[in-house]
Structure 1
Amino acid sequence: MTNRKPDYDAVIVGAGFGGMGAGIELKRQGLTDLAILEREDDLGGTWHVNHYPGLAVDIASVTYSYSFAPNPYWSRLFAPGAELKKYAEHIADQYDLRRHMEFGTAVQRAEWDDDDHLWTVYTDDGGSRTTRYLVTATGFLSQPHTPDFPGIDTFAGDIIHTTDWQDGYDFTGKRAAVIGTGATAVQLIPEIARDADALTVFQRTPIWVVPKVDFPIPAPVQNLFAKVPLTQKAARLVNTSLLEALMVFGVLHFKQTKPGNKMAALLAKAHLRAQVRDAGTRRKLTPAYDFGCKRPTFSNEYFRVFNRPNVTLQTSSIARVEPDGIVTDDGHKTMIDTLVLATGFNLWDTNFPAFQIIGREGRDLGPWWREGRFQAYEGITVPKMPNLLSLNSPYSYSGLSYFTTIEGQMRHIARLFGELRRRKADTFEVTEEANTEFLDRSTHALDSSVFYAGDCSGSRSYYFNQHGEATLLRPSSTRSTLREMETFPLDDYTYA
């Protein structure tokens, strides 16, 4: 090993909430020379990229935020997206992160140098940076999926992907089509339906939708949260506990608590029956898979849209796109002039990882995951990838709020870097044995989940990778996850 000094202590790829959380923790650990590289033109991650009409969080804002940096001034229980963007900006300022950020900088690949114990990070502008530690915080939903329907390149009207929204786009007088019925579409479709002359919703897989208990947070309550933070902490605890019960008992322990899962499905069906008049439409909107196989969502407006005379639900498969419309496999043509793609993201082909990462002994992380099994110790580190912290990794997503995942990983970073200081070391690498043991334990724990004990065959869920494994979620409760992140065996790593 030589003593070549790197350009940075750490390079963090991504300036969303994950990247900022990592930056906060690394600065707490004494690493001050950071570079946070962001391909977009501003910070905020998904809350910067997404700004379509109707955008809001689907986890109550008291929980969908850092526990150590509460915002007492959320306007609603489920805050609109613009407030999440402002919250991200506030965090960047509060923790002095902006000066580390470089925007419009897309990372192409990173390579480990075993002689110098450094990563070299290459960007699309031809530049490179060396760093002691590399953190990937590119998000789970950051690589948009654009379907390659035959003829889509011949469409003569406007094509808008929800991640590239045209602010101020006017649907008045338009014959619009929305492809997709995931959580994004559930928020967007009611907004389009209000203005468009005609809206056709192309549904491949229906989604479980339950009532949304949402309301404005009055100014006196906001002021109480600001003056007595313990009150907001209590509200967070109540909401988190409810989410935890849904996640642990309804999804992870499906085999043991199947009646609870069935009750959630019955609630969603009752919500559907109360809101949609036509029995045939209700049948089309009813999922044929168990609750939780695919992430459910909340809405009081989505189902009611299908009562409107200007809205049509189309469940036949799309055969091709023509310059003036969409033809389904039954030969029916829907004439449109605006096509909205609410087609989600590509997790498993392009997002794990989001750029090429080559570690020790030439291990190329993407092919290694795809040709073998998706795996990461405690959802954050990988064998033969020294000094790499991969925040969006297999088995990393914990609970229903992404902030649970972030804060758990921050605790892992704190424990790991504390041990580096104690040993006067600067390199860590998880052992193959520890990684295998965690993978086996996680796989076994998921046997009781809805993904394997339930019927998910028709869900087309992004929880499943191309091998049919549900390797996105960490199969443990929030409390267990946080405890494990603070108590994992330090000898599960080697140090140098």
Structure 2
Amino acid sequence: MRRRTISIAVVGSGFSGIGLAIALKRAGFEDITIFDGADGPGGVWRDNTYPGAACDAPSHLYSYSFEPKPDWSRRFAEQHEILAYLRHCADKYGLTPHFRFRTTVTDAHFHAATGRWRLHTGDGGVHEYDLFVAACGQLSNPAVPRLPGLDRFAGTAFHSARWNHDHALEGRRVAVVGNGASAVQFVPLIAPAAAHLTIFQREAHWISRKPDRLYPRRRHALNRRLPAVQRLSRLGIFLWFELVLNPALVSPRGRRVLSAPVRLLCRYALRSVRDPRLRRRLTPRYEPGCKRILTSSEYYPALNRPDVAVVDSPIVEITGHGARTADGGRHAFDTLIWATGFRSQDFVAPMRVFGAHRQELNAAWKDGARAYLGLAVTGFPNFFLMYGPNTNVGSGSIVHMLESQAAYIVQAARLLAGGATSMDVRADVLDRFDAAAQERLSTSVWNEGGCDSWYLDADRRNTNNWPGSMTGYRRRTRRLDPTDYHLEH
């Protein structure tokens, strides 16, 4: 039975923050504040509005298990529909009074004397809470390379995650730096408008065709009348990821068995590129899955256009009206779009978090980000992360992982409400978990596949991916073991 009312701060209002707040409310907690510097909920699905933005996990799985949506318009939902879904969830579960939008948390300090966190906001406010959760995500801070001459560029430049909708691309000479998940979605849509499009790729990706399709109205009606149909669809997708794709990434044996079929599937898609020399340049030299396997049925055909060029040589300098590459080539353009992903190791940036001994979190992570189950860090009591280190999935839906984390944090909240004033994960527990995770990751395709990816930090430590299955993570987080923590009452 709860003996005291606790206050809870959540930073971030994407899938993580919304899902956690709903779980906390369903468990009876009401003193919840959700901070976000933007003007509305949605996280990455609010921020990424580039043309063609969509999810590459099937809609029925990329949604909360407790809030199925029977009328998804297509198998792979687009940005506007996912954002509408998140807003629907926030409204339905009564989160509106808990949001504090246009409020950025600049730094947070744990005070051992009170067992509370003191949060400082950009508007000069100071707020105290018993439990503090960073739900900032791994893919929220755009990464822009620091190239020489960038300040001299006379044209318009923006990151795909901060798309400039006021800048018309018609008749422009456009450069896209990067060829990852975002680029393969928007390149086919902007290529017809641009006078010329140059794509600078650092490394080729394995890309398969996207099995997308519209759902007919009769499917929506069937989902409503027989919810079991949608649940079975979700289960089937889940099992495909768990039993087929996940072993191809994590298990050395699974890699050997499934590598050849994945190569064939992706090379079949690559056949739509007519130029054999370009096909060779678009064929990766690393093992499938080392980088995220992309899905698109439109990207390769777009490269057949005479006004589209792919450049392999790295950019060494941005000039006033274009770029110079390492092979001496000069490329003219007046619009520069960064499709360079995110600072995936900055789990709480730009916020600064100071623990029990006044140590800043990034200093604690100077040798690489790590957290017990991706959730708790020694020296930072009453603090949890969502989508923290080593909780990304190489195949599947991150929403499944987030629901597991939310259930675990609810248990932590109950411990604090039951009389504990401080809970700090034991150093030996974190050390054992991290050592086991890194050992298992060492034989995964992400570490051994022969590529550079956002999963690895500068020291090639895998700080992002979970070294197992989604069901394995659910099992590990199902029950919070109090003996894993130093508890004070």
| Corresponding residue of 1:202 | 200
| Corresponding residue of 2:323 | 326
Mapped pair 1:299 → 2:296: yes
1:481 to 465, 470, 473: 473
2:276 to 273, 276, 279: 279
Question: What's the CA shift string for 1:131-187, capped at 9, x where partnerless?
Answer: 111000011111111122211111111112111112264322111111100100010
Secondary structure of 2:442's counterpart equals helix
1:415 to 390, 405, 411: 411
Question: What's the CA shift string for 1:348-381, capped at 9, x where partnerless?
Answer: 2x335542111112222111112x3421111101
Amino acid at match of 1:360: A
Mapped pair 1:106 → 2:104: yes
| Corresponding residue of 1:470 | 462
| Corresponding residue of 2:389 | 394
1:362 to 352, 358, 363: 358
Farther-moved stretch of structure 1 (398-407 vs 102-111): 398-407
1:428 to 423, 427, 431: 423
Secondary structure of 1:403's counterpart equals helix
1:72 to 41, 66, 70: 70
2:380 to 379, 385, 397: 385
| Corresponding residue of 2:434 | 439
Farther-moved stretch of structure 1 (253-262 vs 106-115): 253-262
Amino acid at match of 2:340: T
Percent identity, aligned pairs only, is 33
Alignment CA distance shift 1:353-1:320 (3 Å): closer
Farther-moved stretch of structure 1 (262-271 vs 60-69): 262-271
- Work out the CA distance in 1 between the residues paired with 2:341 and 2:255: 30
Q: State the 1:420 CA deviation.
A: 4.3
1:492 to 460, 479, 484: 484
Secondary structure of 1:31's counterpart equals coil
Q: How does 1:209-248 map to 2 (within 5 A)?
A: 209-248=207-246
Secondary structure of 1:281's counterpart equals helix
Q: State the 1:251 CA deviation.
A: 0.5
Mapped pair 1:290 → 2:287: yes
Amino acid at match of 2:170: T
Amino acid at match of 1:277: R
| Corresponding residue of 1:11 | 9
- Work out the CA distance in 1 between the residues paired with 2:416 and 2:49: 41
- Work out the CA distance in 1 between the residues paired with 2:174 and 2:479: 53
- Indicate conservation of the 8 Å contact 2:371/2:389, yes or no: yes
- Work out the CA distance in 1 between the residues paired with 2:280 and 2:153: 31
Q: How many residues get paired?
A: 484
Amino acid at match of 1:139: G
Alignment CA distance shift 1:108-1:376 (3 Å): same
Q: How does 1:90-169 map to 2 (within 5 A)?
A: 90-167=88-165, 169=167
Mapped pair 1:258 → 2:256: yes
Q: How does 1:37-48 map to 2 (within 5 A)?
A: 37-48=35-46
Secondary structure of 1:467's counterpart equals coil
- Indicate conservation of the 8 Å contact 1:40/1:105, yes or no: yes
- Indicate conservation of the 8 Å contact 1:395/1:472, yes or no: yes
Mapped pair 1:88 → 2:76: no
Alignment CA distance shift 1:163-1:185 (3 Å): same
- Indicate conservation of the 8 Å contact 1:108/1:123, yes or no: yes
Secondary structure of 1:194's counterpart equals coil
| Corresponding residue of 1:335 | 332
- Work out the CA distance in 2 between the residues paired with 1:82 and 1:383: 39
Q: State the 1:488 CA deviation.
A: 4.7
Amino acid at match of 2:330: K
- Work out the CA distance in 1 between the residues paired with 2:328 and 2:285: 25
Amino acid at match of 2:406: M
- Indicate conservation of the 8 Å contact 2:131/2:413, yes or no: no
- Indicate conservation of the 8 Å contact 1:411/1:482, yes or no: no
Stretches of structure 1 that go unaligned for 5 or more consecutive residues are none
Alignment CA distance shift 1:261-1:245 (3 Å): farther
- Work out the CA distance in 2 between the residues paired with 1:163 and 1:494: 40
| Corresponding residue of 1:176 | 174
Secondary structure of 1:460's counterpart equals coil
Cα RMSD for the two superposed structures = 1.8
- Work out the CA distance in 1 between the residues paired with 2:229 and 2:421: 42
Question: What's the CA shift string for 1:418-476, capped at 9, x where partnerless?
Answer: 4445x532432211121112112212222331133x332xx220100122111211212
- Work out the CA distance in 2 between the residues paired with 1:305 and 1:249: 32
- Work out the CA distance in 2 between the residues paired with 1:226 and 1:490: 41
